Structures are given as C-alpha cells and as structure tokens.
Structure 1
Amino acid sequence: MKIRAFLCIALLGLLVACGTGREAIPIGTPVAPDFRDANPVDFKGQRPAQYPVHGIDAARFQTSIDWSQARRNGVNFAFLKATEGGDLLDPAFTTHWRGAGKAGVARGAYHFYYFCTSPEVQAQWFIRNVPRSKGMMPPVLDMEWNPLSPTCAHRRPAANVVQDEMRRWLRIIEAHYGQRPIIYTTPQFYAENNLSGFNGYEYWLRTTAKSPGEAFPGERWQFWQYSATGLIDGIKGEVDLNAFSGTRAQWTTWLAARAHK
C-alpha cells in the first residue's frame, strides 16, 4: 500500500486516494497531459511538450465530454465558448460549464467578437449568459476575422477602430467580473490590427503551424493554442489543445491570483 500510494503521488503530483481513481481532483492541482494528436506538428524552438500544464477549449462541436475522465488525463483548464456577437449563445455552454466545474477543471468563458454590433451590446450579452462563478478564470475576448458570418464577413474596420472597440468591451467586462480579461487572437488579426502595441492584457495565442516566437515575434503569452486535432480519452472527436506558459508552480500561483474570488 505504501508503494502504491507513493506511485500515485509521484505520477499525478496530487493528493488523491488511489483506491478507485475516481475521486475529484482539486481545481488548480496540475496533472500531466496524456494527450494524442491526429496531426502533430514538429515545432521549431518552443514546443508544447516543454510546458507541463495543458488544457483545452470547447464549444458546441464537442458533443460529448466526460469531464472527470478528461481531468484525469491532464485537462487542467478549459476555455468554453459562451457567446457570439450580441445575440448568439453557444448551445453547449451551460453543459460544458457545469461539467468542467464539477470535475475540478479550471474554467473560463470566451466571447467571439462581431464587428456589426456595438461592443456595449456584446458585453452585456456576455454578462447576461456567463455567471460570476467562484474560481473561474478571467473572461476571454476572441478577436479574429470571421469569414463565415452572413452579415459581418466583410466588416474589417481600421486598426484604430478595432482597438477602440476592444477597449470598450474589455472595460465593461472587467468592471463586472473584477478580472482583467484575456485576449485571444490569430497571427493575421494580430498583425493587421497592430496588437503588438496593445498593452496591459494577457494573451492566448493561436498558432498551430509555427511556435509563438515565430508567429508572434516579441509578444508575451499566457496560453498557446497549439493544435486543433487533439485526441483525449473522455472527449469524443478532436479538440483544441492548449499549453500554459509556465511551470506547475507558476500555474498554481497564476490561478490563485487570477481566479474570481
């Protein structure tokens, strides 16, 4: 029994009884990722494997998630799609939000921004649908061009307009949740809107073909979305994979500082 207990602690890095392996893992306790990738990339420079804390993002496309199993397989955090524009709610948000929270997965909600609706309307729509939950990660503003929208696909304002609308949304959300939001973006959107000078916010960067250092030269990041083809036991189909930028200890410290009190 002593050997068994020792192995459990060494392999998982957490104080969980080893009898059934089904006990809830406390939120913020890091578990090493047991992920696969249907289309792995040989990144140059920075590599996902050098970061010990990983997670996912999920939306309606993830139709079935056993959150407890996913947590045991190293899903330490999950960014969950909540809203789009001023009137769209992701139909899976509530289910994912409750499931992740119950399983001890650090969870945060994100908003997909539309340029055909005012930032004030969009911020209020997000607030209406995302509860202020104890322990939640900061809200996320997802900034990328949307070529699939039937109404907003061709709306691409100038960079100064984009940044002004971002700041207006961010201020409202920070005031409501008491957390400075995180910004998610892509290399194209980042470059075309001069976001290298948009200071004061943490970044969650999407780059699945190049490392962050190559795709976003000189930019600091907190989360890196490095794959859209992840495979994790407990999750049906492929899922986006993400890495946290620091060590296990830094993850625990960051979450304690940034989680909703």
Structure 2
Amino acid sequence: MKIATTASVVAMTVSVAVVPAYAMQDIAIEDTPSSFAATVDDAQNSSNSMPDNPNATLPETVSENISDDSTVVSENLAVTPEGDVQNIETGETVTDAQLVGTQSQQPDPLAKTDGESFIPVSASDVKDAVEQSVKQSVEQSSSKNGATVKLAKFDGNDYGAHWGTYNNTKAFFDYKNNLFAQQAKGVIDVSSWQGDIDWAKAKADGVEGAIIRLGFGWGNDADAKAQRNINECKRLGIPFGIYWYSYAEDASGSRQEGNDVVSKLRQMGVSPNDLKYPVYYDLEQWTWTGHTPPTNPNVYNGIVNAWYGALQSGGYQNLGVYSYTSYLQGPLNNANIYAKTRWVAQYGARMEFTAFGTNDRGWQYTESGHINGISGSVDMSAFGVKELSQNVPIYRMYNRNSGLHHYTANYDEALDLSLKGWLAEGISFFAAREGNPVYRVYNPHDGNHHYTKDSEEKNYLVSLGWRDEGIGWFVPDKGKANVYRLYNPYSGDHVFTEDLEEYNSAGSVGWHKEGIAWQSN
C-alpha cells in the first residue's frame, strides 16, 4: 500500500487518523451485572482481600520486619529486595526448600500459593489495606463485604469484567463495556496442582481452550500432569497451548529454558501444528534461594530474545510472552517485549496493559474460576481468536519536532505516539507473520530508530552503542512489492517506502537512495 503523501520526506503532510476498527460498530451486552460501578466499589472496598487479588485474604497484621519495599507474593509470604522470603505476619525468614528452593534447585513457583495464581503486590499497599481494614466496622462482613463471587462456567470477575456479544459473536468486555476481545474463547490454564482433570466434563462446561504448564526453569522434570493434559486435549479436540515459567537471570539461562521446552515438547509428541494457542514464556518476579531476578528491561529483552531464538530454531514459531500488568510496566518495560506480549494477568475492572494486539491476545481475568471436572479453583482467561490476515501493517509515524520517522507493527505503539503529537502517515507497507526477521535498533543519543534485515549491520550498530530492540517484524523471501530505503545525511533518519515516486522525489532533494531494503507481503 502506498503512502498517500510524501509530506515529511519532501514538502507536505496529511495526517491519517489511527482509529480502532470497532469504534463505529454496535456492541451488545448479555447477562451483565446490573451495576458495574457497584460491583467495582464492593470489590475495591473489600474489607479483607489483597490488593489486585480479590480472592486472596489479607493478613490480620503485617510484621514490622516486612519493609515497605518488599513484595508480597502470596497470602502468607513477602520477598525482600535482596530476595529473602519472609512470613508476612511473623517476619521470620522462610527456608523451606519446597517454597524457596536451594542454591542449585529452583522451587515449583506455585508451591508458595498451593497452586493458586497470585499477582505480586507491594508490601506498602498491603500494609495500607490492612490498616484500612482495621478502621472498618467490626460488624462488616468478613467475606469481602458481600462481594465474593463463586464463578461457574465462564462468568466475569469480581470487578465487573464480563462476557457479552459483539457483531453477533461472543466477546469479552471490561466493567465499562469497553471491548477487550471479539470472537472470544473461554480458556483455562492448568498444572499438576489441578490433579487429574475430567476434560470431557470441563469441555461440556464451557472450556474452549487450555494453556498447559510444561515446566519451569531448566534441568527440572516436566510438570507431572503435562503429558496427561496434552493427551486429553488432543483426544477431545480441545485447542491448547503451553506455558513455561522462567527463572532466567540472563540470556544464557533463558536459552537453556528454551532448549528444555523444545526437548520436552518433542518428548510429549507436540508438533508445532498441534498448538492452536502459543507457547508462552511466563515472566514474573520469582524467588529462588541465592538468586535474584533481573530488574533491568534491557536484560529481560536479551532473555526474551534468547528464549525465542531457541524455540524458533526448534521449529516452534507460535510464541508469546505472559506476565502481569505491574511487571510489564516495570522490569519488562521494553518495546520488543511488549510486541511479543499476548497474554496478561489482571484481576481487576479493566485491562490496564494496552500495548498488545486487538484480537490476538488473552486476559487472565480471574484466578478463582470453577469448572466441572476440576477440583478447586482454576484460572480463567478470555482470548480473542479472530483469524488474522497474514499481512501485518507497518505504521509510519513522523515527529515534526525532530524530523524523525518511526515504523512499528504494533498498533497501540502507533496510537500512543499519535496521542503524543506524532503525525500518523498511514501504512508504509505490509510485513508478514513469519519469514525473514527485520531487526529494530535504537540510538539513545538522538532518538533515532533503524530497521534492517542484515544481522551484521544490526550487530555493527549495537557495537557502536545502539540498543538492540529485537525483531520488529518479518518479511517474505519474495514479496509483492519492493520496499525502498532512503537515508537523510543531515538527520541520520531512514525512510522505507513502497512508493517509487516518493523514493525518486526524496532522492532528488538530498536524500541518499540506498536501494531495496526488502519486499513487502
């Protein structure tokens, strides 16, 4: 697709508004709470639930030994910035290897919560919640102010996120009826902590997909129920994906984890074609005796790229990152990681992480679902599974202050830049969902981004101080049109365009014509 104007390159511009495709369409809501505001208020004002975890109970007290900068990782445990695990109420250091591991052995990450999911929160927030709870009337219900919801099948969550319809198909919405996913599917994620699942009953009770834990760390046995869960999903035709919990401290560790994933998938007879949902890399703040999780997004970026490389080398291309909002906004705050994030946990009224695709994404909206065939509670997610075109639009943005161009396959990144004043110049060309990688690097000194299919060029720029931001998109071996590359010797800016007229016009006013960069899809 040609750009409608060569404004930023030559003389004039026309802004192309970035508007969600569903903005003008009708939304119908079915079986929704009568008052979302009331639901949210009840849940948020709950007298004894943990912040961000509506079904986890607050401790009666928090020990003075628990510092404000510690992180609460379960109903009973907190982790100091140094990595020590403490009992919340007594402040005593926990040394149980089942919970914290040993120097050489990673613990099962779900052992801390008896198999339940828990979104880590700051100890300071927990202390505030405990203080607020004490101030509330002793006559108030101790069961979350009447807001407890026992979920059956695929209902919404305590805060009002809910199911409905959109364009006559099932969809998932936040508490204000904002669309999260169209053509949505109800998906559970499971591990050995759910025991032997009666998958036939689960399917009959509304389960439309499953994400199965394969394992964690490296050098460990696979999840004890992974093979059974995989076999049952195959037998009953339940679409499934895989998740792997990371303990990686650096790219070397994540590469070992990636190799372990490939090995175990092959051992269990899982081919790439079996996976209707991705293989997810589960990145969370972990606890492991003698080890400390990364905090630098650049370190995590290297970790993610190495894991992806191991999986892709093994033939598995359908991949994604899983985490929770606060971690994505902290240690995982990296454009490349955001581009790979396809499944996010947030047990609240809305999904506050927005930097992932409109349809190809999942919201783990509760940790306390109840499904026939499963003993106890189970995580529930809404996944948008609309079939996506193999053509990936690459948005072109222009900064009128710096004169720089930016290209991205991430719609939400383009929208964010537009809201910050960048001029949206439409779709520059179409990339592919797989093929040859186009690398994205960033110059922190002048704010310039560059994109290249040449790994040697990428590595050279990184050696000069450019920041490696991973793979921006993929391009085919043989495409439908040439994408030309122009270079501005004054600003260092590059422009990529299918428009031969723009290419020649810019070349006539001082831009260097650098030939064909790649072909578009």
Specify if TM > 0.5: yes
Partner of 1:66: 198
| Residues 207-243 of structure 1: CA deviation (Å, up to 9, x unaligned) | 112421xx21444361111110000111111000011
The alpha-carbon deviation at position 175 of structure 1 amounts to 2.6
2:213 aligned partner: 81
| Equivalent position SS for 1:53 | strand
Range 197-206 or range 178-187, more displaced: 197-206
Summarize the Cα distance change of 1:176–1:94 in structure 2 as closer, same or farther, 3 Å threshold. same
Supply the distance in 2 between the matched residues of 1:194 and 1:126 (Cα, whole angstroms): 21
Which residue pairs with 1:156 in the alignment? 294
The answer to whether the aligner puts 1:143 opposite 2:280 as a matched pair is no
Structure 2 Cα separation of the partners of residues 38 and 179 of structure 1: 31
Structure 2: how far apart are the matches of 1:47 and 1:235? Answer: 29
Deviation at 1:78, TM superposition (A): 0.6
2:207 & 2:324 partners in 1: Cα distance?
A: 23
Q: Distance in 1 between matches of 2:370 and 2:191?
A: 15
Distance 2:318 2:182 in 1: 27
What does residue 189 of structure 1 align with?
327
What are the superposed Cα offsets for residues 109-144 of structure 1, whole Å, 9 maximum, x if unpaired? Answer: 111111246122111111111133332132111111
Q: Residue 227 of structure 1 is aligned with which of 362, 366, 374? A: 366
Q: After superposition, where does 1:77-156 map in structure 2 within 5 Å? A: 77-88=209-220, 89-116=222-249, 118-131=253-266, 132-133=270-271, 134-136=273-275, 137-147=277-287, 149-152=288-291, 154-156=292-294
Per the TM alignment, residue 196 of structure 1 is displaced from its structure 2 partner at its CA by: 5.4
Find the aligned partners of 2:259 and 2:236 in 1 and give their Cα distance: 28
CA distance in 2 between partners of 1:159 and 1:106 (Å): 32
- Report the 3-state secondary structure (helix = DSSP H, G, I; strand = E; otherwise coil) of the residue aligned with 2:247: coil
User: In 2 relative to 1, CA 238–37 (structure 1 residues): closer, same or farther, beyond 3 Å?
Assistant: farther
Unaligned 5+ segments in structure 1 are 1-32
Higher RCO (Cα < 8 Å, 6 or more apart): 1
Q: Identify if the C-alpha distance between structure 1 residues 73 and 176 changes in structure 2 by more than 3 Å, giving closer, same or farther.
A: same
Residue 343 of structure 2 aligns to a residue in which SS?
A: strand
TM-score using structure 2 length: 0.38
| Distance in 1 between residues matched to 2:377 and 2:312, nearest whole Å | 32
Between 52-61 and 111-120, the greater mean CA deviation after superposition? 111-120
Q: Which of 158, 164, 167 pairs up with 1:40? A: 158
The Cα of 1:75 is off from its aligned counterpart by 1.1
Distance 2:215 2:182 in 1: 32
- Structure 1: distance between partners of 2:243 and 2:229: 13
| Inter-partner Cα distance in structure 2 for 1:240 and 1:47 | 21
Q: Could you list the per-position Cα deviations for residues 88-124 of structure 1 after superposition, in whole angstroms to 9, with x for gaps in the alignment?
A: 2211111111112111111111111112461221111
* 8 A contact 1:144–1:185 mirrored in 2: yes
Task: Report the equivalent of 2:384.
Answer: 245
Cα 1:48–1:59 shift into 2, 3 Å: farther
Matched residue of 2:310: which SS? helix
Whichever structure has more helix as a proportion of its residues is: 1
Going from structure 1 to structure 2, the CA distance change for 1:47 and 1:208 (only over 3 Å counts) comes to farther
- CA change 1:37–1:113 in 2 (3 A) is same
Per the alignment, residue 20 of structure 1 pairs with: none
Once the two structures are TM-superposed, the CA of residue 40 in structure 1 deviates from its matched residue by: 2.8
Residue 424 of structure 2 is matched in structure 1 by none
Of the three residues 163, 168, 173, the one matched with 2:311 is 173
**What is the distance in 2 between the residues matched to 1:34 and 1:105?**
19
Aligned-residue Cα RMSD (Å) equals 2.8
Distance 1:48 1:158 in 2: 29
Contact kept, 8 Å, 1:38 with 1:230, in 2: the verdict is no
Instruction: Give the drift of 1:200.
Output: 4.1
Q: How high is the TM-score relative to the length of structure 1?
A: 0.73
How far did residue 194 of structure 1 move? 4.6
CA distance in 2: counterparts of 1:126 and 1:50, whole angstroms: 31
SS in 2 for 1:81: strand
User: Which stretch of structure 1 is more off in the superposition, 89-98 or 40-49?
Assistant: 40-49
